[in-house]
Amino acid sequence: MTIQPAGRRDASEPQRPCGEWTCHARWLGPWLAGVTLSCALSVPSPVDAEPTPITARAALRADDARPSAFEALPPQSDSPSAAAPTVLLSANARPAPGPLPRVPGIDVAEDESPPAPAELPRDGAAVGRFSAQGQSARLRFEARAGECALFELTAFGYARGWTATAGLAVRSAEGQVLVEQERAGPAVFGDLLVFIAPSAGEYELEVRAVEQHFRYVVVRHATYAALPEGGAFEVAVDQTEAHAFTASTGDTLRFVLRGAPGTTSMLRVEPSAERGQKQGRAGRARRAAATAGLADVRLAETFDPRDADDSTYPDLRLRAAESVTHGPFSALVQFPAAGALFVEVEQIGEGPGQLFTLAVERSLTLAPCTVRVGDADDEPLAGVEVVLLREPALERCGRGTTSADGTVTWPVPAGPYTIVYRAPGQRPDSVRTTFTPGVPLNVVAVPRR
């Protein structure tokens, strides 16, 4: 079954609100009265129906689709749209399970033949290598009508400084190109091709060395599906992570998170790929500080320089309602009385689409955390810019400026933190520490050499 954009109420029709307006909230359950599952899900004819462009994508199971019913939230800084989604869909996708097969080595004969045709099953992977520009590999696969297949390619060069261009294309059994794209990159780069089968049958994925040649691994992720336009997918009250994907720059996904009213959770968005998580630590620290106005930060520990390159994965921005504190890829949120809040994830960086994970750390206990900054003589320093990053994922839990007594305070969970700070006239610096409720964190701002 193909997922199509859900039907929208015509703007000329009178609205049918139900309940009472109170503080920017209304009950929206009957808003879609008369809209049935068939309005959101249909099987288009390849002859008389044009493919519908899809700009927002998420994980869903068709039989979980249902009208939404929860309170709309007032707009806030760094908050998502408060408009009610037309349809709620369960978030139950997952990346293809590993481990992935080993990538072929770099020792290749100049006259080596391209990889032989092979099968690519659901949640399967294939590896190979090209020895010359223009070679290609053909991978056969089956798909149901409306099934969504994500083909994730990672290309590896043969030496440092290597550059190449990879092409991905899906062909019908008759050889017609249904979708294709190309991606250029450095020694290691990735691409993501999204394909929705127009009908049940056999298809072929072609991996091509457009410029130069490279080694590769391609994974077929089979549990994701397209999100109807205007819809959102739901993260249940006991769910600690949700998997979804963006197709390209500008794609935005909407979530509805369920939780116990009054409880606090930490939200974090990050690439699902293991390589993206490994390389992300240094970049997350710099980004969390830079978006708070502190650039050129000297980190409190030494990072592997291979982990400092953020160019492989584009930026994902998280926007969350009811946030206590907010960073570019994380938010500390408190669930309102309705027990539901809106979250949006947008791909803002240039580059291919990507799989990502929205992690939800639930039922956190907050305590006032006071950071005190003093000079070498322990005199308080006012006007020091401070950013508090929670370890190990470096979620931003606070940003502010010290007052006359050299302190700044936020409600945060206990545990290890990195404090990034910049005293007036100095360059930014950082220190690692552990917060114990009731014990202030003291920082000595020594001029950076």
Residue with more model confidence, 285 or 442? 442
Q: Is residue 418 located within the same domain as residue 331?
A: no
What is the pLDDT, as a whole number, of residue 286?
57
HSE-CB for 197 with a 13 A CA cutoff: 23
CATH classification at residue 211 = 2.60.120.380
Q: Is residue 83 located within the same domain as residue 231?
A: yes
Query: Quick one: average pLDDT of 107-129?
Result: 91
What is the pLDDT, as a whole number, of residue 354?
86
Q: Residue 136's domain spans which residues? A: 118-221
Least confident of 30-44, 129-143, 206-220, 279-293: 30-44
Quick check: is 108 in a domain?
no
Query: Quick one: average pLDDT of 178-198?
Result: 95
Query: Quick one: average pLDDT of 359-367?
Result: 95
Q: Look at residue 226 and tell me whether its pLDDT is greater than 50.
A: yes
What is the pLDDT, as a whole number, of residue 352?
87
Domain boundary among 187, 221, 255: 221
Quick check: is 290 in a domain?
no
Q: Is residue 59 located within the same domain as residue 126?
A: no
Pairwise CA distance, residues 198 & 127, whole Å: 27
Pairwise CA distance, residues 164 & 69, whole Å: 49
Quick check: is 250 in a domain?
yes
Quick check: is 3 in a domain?
no
What is the pLDDT, as a whole number, of residue 283?
57
Pairwise CA distance, residues 58 & 91, whole Å: 8
Least confident of 4-18, 302-316, 321-335: 4-18
What is the pLDDT, as a whole number, of residue 350?
78
pLDDT tens digits, one per residue of 268-304: 988 886 544 444 555 555 555 555 555 444 444 333 3
Nearest-5° Cα angle at 86, 84 to 91: 95
Quick check: is 101 in a domain?
no
Q: Is residue 234 located within the same domain as residue 337?
A: yes
Residue with more model confidence, 121 or 16? 121
Q: Is residue 165 located within the same domain as residue 199?
A: yes
Domain boundary among 199, 221, 243: 221
Helix (H) / strand (E) element for 180: namely strand 177-185
Residue with more model confidence, 51 or 275? 275
Residue with more model confidence, 75 or 330? 330
Domain boundary among 180, 198, 221: 221
Question: Which two three-digit tokens encode residue 197?
Answer: 């089968």
Of 82, 74, 6, the C-alpha closest to 42 is: 6
Report for 224-233, 237-246, 266-275: range of highest mean pLDDT: 237-246
Give 117's pLDDT tier (boundaries 50, 70, 90).
very high
Q: Is residue 207 located within the same domain as residue 167?
A: yes
Least confident of 75-79, 247-251, 347-351, 413-417: 75-79
Q: Is residue 140 located within the same domain as residue 188?
A: yes
What is the pLDDT, as a whole number, of residue 34?
28
pLDDT tens digits, one per residue of 383-426: 999 989 898 888 889 989 999 999 999 999 999 998 989 888 88
Quick check: is 288 in a domain?
no
Least confident of 88-92, 141-145, 260-264, 382-386: 88-92
Give 191's pLDDT tier (boundaries 50, 70, 90).
very high
Q: Look at residue 80 and tell me whether its pLDDT is greater than 50.
A: yes
Query: Quick one: average pLDDT of 29-36?
Result: 27
**Locus of tokens 């005293």:** 423
Q: Is residue 231 located within the same domain as residue 345?
A: yes
Q: Look at residue 144 and tell me whether its pLDDT is greater than 80.
A: yes
How far is it between the farthest Cα atoms of the chain? 80
Question: Which two three-digit tokens encode residue 116?
Answer: 């032989």
CATH classification at residue 385 = 2.60.40.10
Helix then strand count (H, E) for the chain reads: 2, 30
Q: Is residue 162 located within the same domain as residue 182?
A: yes
Query: Quick one: average pLDDT of 141-151?
Result: 96
What is the pLDDT, as a whole number, of residue 178?
98
Query: Quick one: average pLDDT of 46-63?
Result: 32
Number of domains in the chain: 3
Pairwise CA distance, residues 434 & 418, whole Å: 8
Quick check: is 281 in a domain?
no
Percent of the chain beyond pLDDT 70? 72
Q: Is residue 424 located within the same domain as residue 439?
A: yes
Q: Is residue 53 located within the same domain as residue 78?
A: yes
Q: Is residue 412 located within the same domain as residue 432?
A: yes
Quick check: is 10 in a domain?
no
DSSP string, 246-286: E-STT-EEEEEEE--TT-EEEEEEEESSHHHHHHHHHHHHH
Give 139's pLDDT tier (boundaries 50, 70, 90).
very high
